[in-house]
Amino acid sequence: MKYIVGVDIGATNLRIALATNKGELIHKTTIPTPRKGDELTIAETIRDLINKMIHDKGIEIEELKGIGIGSIGPLDIRKGKVINAPNIPIHSFELLRPLKDWFKIPIYVVNDCVAAVWGELIFGAGRSYQNIVYVTLSTGIGAGAIVNGNLLLGKDGNAHEVGHIVIDYESKLRCRCGGYGHWEAYASGANIQKFINYLLSKWSLTTQERNSELYKAYEERKVTTELLFSLGKRKDPLALRIIDELGRINACGIASVINVYDPELLTLGGSISLNNPNLVLNPILKYIDMYVINRKPLIKLTPLGHDVVLLGAIALVVSTPHTLVNIQA
């Protein structure tokens, strides 16, 4: 039982890694997450990738200690399956049951952010803390929380859907879940573009802002999240104003999470944060005091970068959280 497999199922990519019992990565593979198929397609893809990976490395299945999976949600954690995920074309799919039938080794399935916060505790910035929250700003927004050393799961494994915190109950901005005014409807990668259109339809702009490259792109309907941040890095005045407003929305959401979980450490990950560290973190730090009631925690980017979910999935097997042992094995 020398090796562990970690799996990160995201909206865009499916990543698999082989690690030692101590969590040292030996091999990583990334493929696009299957967009077509039935509820077994994703599990079958994972099975085939694992079989190929261990075959290539000359490893037998008997040498695997277990498989940890951090997946896009929402979950039915007892059945280890994903149900009605809004950000992925195969909305519902099985993981725990088929993989257990095929491999006959311990398998753990949690939400990706829940895996990530466990990875932060075991391998990352959280090693000396008992109260940690991880927040991802990516295609969607989510969080994982450890409170007094306990990994929070919830009745169905969904104690982390912070992206659906209502920021404005009168909002006309619609979230992919169907609700209105959710944090994700403003600041997730899937929705920033709509938020920019909304801001520019109601803001009065200075001449300098009207002459900016971002406004030109807006008029040509070419605004994307990537363009916003790349123009922000080039100090485009309108891009910086929007990024500041986005930071205020993120500060509202993150402050709500801090007020609920009372962490000592809050780490940020996800492609939007990791690709634009200063433009995301600085506005959050500027506005957070307006909204936090609890004593403010240390807020920083995860040192585990894009591997945080993968390492978290591996950490589930290295040191299985006691809240999970009674639910899955």
Contact set with Zn ion (CB under 5 A) = 164, 175, 177, 179, 182
- For Zn ion, the closer of residues 165 and 279 by Cβ is 165
Taking alpha carbons only, the member of 299, 311, 305, 316 closest to residue 133 is: 299
How does DSSP assign 244-313, residue by residue?
HHHHHHHHHHHHHHHHHH--SEEEEESHHHHHSHHHHHHHHHHHGGGT--SPPPEEEE-TTGGGHHHHHH
Which residue's C-beta sits nearest to Zn ion? 175
Provide the minimum distance between the beta carbon of 278 and Zn ion in the complex, in angstroms, as a whole number.
Answer: 28
Provide the minimum distance between the beta carbon of 142 and Zn ion in the complex, in angstroms, as a whole number.
Answer: 11
- For Zn ion, the closer of residues 34 and 86 by Cβ is 86
Provide the minimum distance between the beta carbon of 196 and Zn ion in the complex, in angstroms, as a whole number.
Answer: 19
Provide the minimum distance between the beta carbon of 154 and Zn ion in the complex, in angstroms, as a whole number.
Answer: 17
Taking alpha carbons only, the member of 121, 120, 114 closest to residue 152 is: 114
Residue type (1 letter), 111 = N
- For Zn ion, the closer of residues 81 and 182 by Cβ is 182
Residue 210 three-state SS: helix
| DSSP symbol at 172 | -
Provide the minimum distance between the beta carbon of 42 and Zn ion in the complex, in angstroms, as a whole number.
Answer: 23
- For Zn ion, the closer of residues 87 and 320 by Cβ is 87
CB 26 within 8 A of CB 70: no
* Residue 18 CB contacts under 8 Å (≥ 6 apart), including other chains: 3, 4, 5, 25, 26, 27, 28, 53, 54, 57, 59
Provide the minimum distance between the beta carbon of 73 and Zn ion in the complex, in angstroms, as a whole number.
Answer: 12
- For Zn ion, the closer of residues 113 and 151 by Cβ is 113
- For Zn ion, the closer of residues 81 and 164 by Cβ is 164
